[in-house]
Chain A
Amino acid sequence: MKMVMGYVAGLLFGLGLAISGMTDPARVLGFLDIAGAWDPTLMFVLGGAVVTSFVGYRLVFKQNAPLFGERFQLPTKQDLDSKLLGGAALFGIGWGLSGYCPGPAIASIGGISLPLAAMLVTMVIGWFAAQRLSR
């Protein structure tokens, strides 16, 4: 059952990215380019997603546990350490260079190109590097 729930969640996410146009790096870079012809689309995507999950999470957290799990697994860290800040800063540079964050990069596999494939490979290498550095 968890596999079905996971698939539905992934499908909803992928549909959302496709319909919102976030599978187009030009839209993302257009939003980040505040000195150019600014494209506000991403702001509405993030806004729609945050408001929906803000309301939805409140309904969900009224339950004692998830439907098919023992407990809600929420992050417990509170501190603003250099790993969080440094990691986020590096991620932002990569995002600004490519217009891809992990979701859209992976969701765009259906339209794979050589540059995207190259990015996915080094993204995975980056994940392994981060894991090694975190030990």
Chain B
Amino acid sequence: MDWTATLQGLVGGILIGLSAVWLMGTMGRIAGISGIVGNLITQRPKGDSAWRITFLLGLISGPLLVMALGGGLGNVANAPGMVIGEPAGGVLLMLVAGFLVGIGTGLGSGCTSGHGVCGLSRLSVRSLTATVTFLVTAIITVYVVRHVMGGGA
């Protein structure tokens, strides 16, 4: 096992958890990316948009800050020192994947952060069910793409 990658995963995970706790403690909100950004774009809620925009800016500036700091803090597989990895597929595949991620998180009221992190730590049955469901379909998808069809992503 790659212990450095594991340790970085753990540290990064703790930071994500702190973000969720921070947002709940200061604003009383769930740190779900699809909820925060999706609602910002589709509804532009009056008086409830500014913090979503700054959250979005913070989210984008996090990796940029890690790049600016240097010191190889990124954890891209097989490319130490890199912070942002390459997309796994071409434009066509990503167009399809993006739509599925958008409509799926929209209908399912959450993604890996809202259901996976915040929901599981609130012991929400809905979130546990959603998390198991998207993990299973994602694992099946990767299996089909890599081992049944071969090649691809």
Chain A interface (Cβ < 8 Å from any Cβ of B): 2-27, 29-30, 32-36, 39-54, 56-57, 59-60, 63, 65-75, 77-80, 83-103, 105-111, 113-116, 118-131, 133-134
Q: By DSSP majority rule, is chain A's interface helix, strand, loop, or mixed?
A: helix
B52 touching A99, Cβ below 8 Å? no
Q: By DSSP majority rule, is chain B's interface helix, strand, loop, or mixed?
A: helix
A60 touching B24, Cβ below 8 Å? yes
A77 touching B109, Cβ below 8 Å? yes
Q: Among B1, B27, B63, B115, which residue has its beta carbon within 8 angstroms of that of A17?
A: B63
Cα of A17 to Cα of B139 in the assembled complex, Å: 21
Q: A24-B77, A50-B121, A111-B84 are in contact. Are A12 and B145 (CB under 8 A)?
A: no
Among B54, B64, B78, B122, find the residue whose CB has the most chain A CB atoms closer than 10 A.
B54
Among A4, A91, A93, find the residue whose CB has the most chain B CB atoms closer than 10 A.
A91
- B89 near A: Cβ within 8 Å? yes
- Give every chain A residue within 8 A of B74 (Cβ-Cβ): 18-19, 21, 23
Q: How far is the CB of B116 from chain A (nearest CB, A)?
A: 6
